[in-house]
Amino acid sequence: MGGTTAILGSLDADGRFEVLSELRTTPLAAPVETLRQAAGIVGDSGRGIGAIGIGVAGLVDFDGGIVLKAPNLPTWEGFAVREEASRLFGVPSVADNDCNVFAAGAVSLGEVPSSGLWIVITFGTGIGGSLVLDGAIQRGRGQAGEVGHMSIQAEGGLACPCGSSGCWERYAGREALLAYYRDSGGDPEDIEPRSIADRARNGCGSALEAFDRLGAWIGRGLANINNCFFPHGIAIGGGLTGAMDLWEQSARRRFRENAMLPVWNVVVLEAVSSTGALGAAVLASRLLMGREDAP
């Protein structure tokens, strides 16, 4: 469940995943209406379902099934998503944040190894993070992994919708790239990272400089993560990874400067838009198996 699209899919007992529908949503739609719409599609498909899993773009209390914060989905804040989903669908349900379900999907596809400590990071409008240990999402007391909100700029840091300032996602996310591009004299009408990447590949100085700055901030954040966790690897996904050729060099340079033991093991996930829905279904299926990581 994202700010503009919700992807509805089903996972059957043989592990086959199928996308049933892509719903257009608006950030201001009532969450219960979106769930009703989804329940209608599931009903029409004639499938008997065992459990429901929902990933929400926001901070989700996994045990309580409540959305705590959702700057991109304001009507979902405070919504008891697990309780409402169980009531509407008549089956047990599980709710988690969007990066965790994406990570669970990537593990089930074999893209994130199911052994060792892996940090999954999505670079997009914001920066999402998940801690994966031996294939299982680690949540701490519920919301572990919010690496996008490491406060990384102490003095005069940019305000963040989370309420803090200087957060990593304000310096290494989509909006940051657009700001760097404007700062270096790029066309302010150009507001798509993809087109700025095309310009950079064609030698545009402003675009190259923007990706260079972005990369330095990405590298600094990755170094912090490496210093804190020294994971077996960092798996990255999201829109900005498509331009990694343009920021990797400067990210590696900054990483070498800031990491205590600069072992760069960053892999790019070949994820598709339904990976999160798959992961939500995987978490739901664990409810039925009585796995201990179920709420």
- 167 vs 244 by CB, closer to Zn ion: 167
Annotate each residue in 164-203 with x if it binds Zn ion (CB under 5 A) or - if it does not, as one string. Answer: x--x------------------------------------
**254: enclosing H helix or E strand:** helix 244-258
Total residues at interface with Zn ion (CB under 5 A)? 5
Query: Using CB under 5 A, which of the segments 74-82, 117-125, 143-151, 209-217 binds Zn ion?
Result: 143-151
Least separation, in Å, of the C-beta of 210 and Zn ion?
A: 22
Which amino acid, one-letter code, is at 149?
Answer: H
Q: What is the DSSP letter of 239?
A: G
Given candidates 162, 179, 272, 294, which one binds Zn ion under the rule CB under 5 A?
162
Task: Measure the CA–CA gap between 102 and 273, rounded to whole angstroms.
Answer: 9
Q: How far is the CB of 167 from Zn ion (least distance, A)?
A: 3
Binding of Zn ion by 159 (CB under 5 A): no
Give the shortest CB-160-to-Zn ion separation in angstroms.
3
SS3 string of 21-90? EEEECCCCCCHHHHHHHHHHHHHHHCCCCCCEEEEECCEEECCCCEEEECCCCHHHCCCCHHHHHHHHHC
Q: Which two tokens stand for residue 256?
A: 């070498």
Q: How far is the CB of 131 from Zn ion (least distance, A)?
A: 18
Question: Of 41-49, 127-135, 147-155, 286-294, which part binds Zn ion (CB under 5 A)?
Answer: 147-155
Q: Which is nearer to Zn ion, 146 or 248 (CB)?
A: 146
What does the alpha-carbon distance between residue 138 and residue 132 come to, in Å, rounded to a whole number? 6
Among 139, 149, 199, 286, binds Zn ion (CB under 5 A): 149
Kindly state the smallest distance separating residue 287's Cβ from Zn ion, in Å.
Answer: 31
- 3-class DSSP state for residue 13? coil
Binding-site string for Zn ion from residue 83 to residue 112, where x marks contact by CB under 5 A and - marks none:
------------------------------
Stretch that binds Zn ion, among 162-170, 173-181, 208-216, 255-263 (CB under 5 A): 162-170
Instruction: Give the C-alpha separation, 220 to 185, whole Å.
Output: 24
Please state the φ and ψ torsions of residue 94, each to the nearest 5 degrees. Answer: -140, 145
State the nearest-atom distance from the C-beta of 126 to Zn ion, in Å: 8
- What is the separation, in whole angstroms, between the first and last Cα of the chain? 20
What is the rounded CA–CA span in Å between residue 218 and residue 209?
14
CB nearer to Zn ion: pick between 39 and 67 = 67
* One residue of 85, 107, 127, 160 binding Zn ion per CB under 5 A: 160
How far is C-alpha 68 from the chain's CA centre?
A: 16
User: What is the C-alpha separation between 241 and 222, in angstroms, rounded?
Assistant: 14
User: In angstroms, what is the minimal distance from the CB of 15 to Zn ion?
Assistant: 37
Query: Which positions lie near Zn ion, rule CB under 5 A?
Result: 149, 160, 162, 164, 167
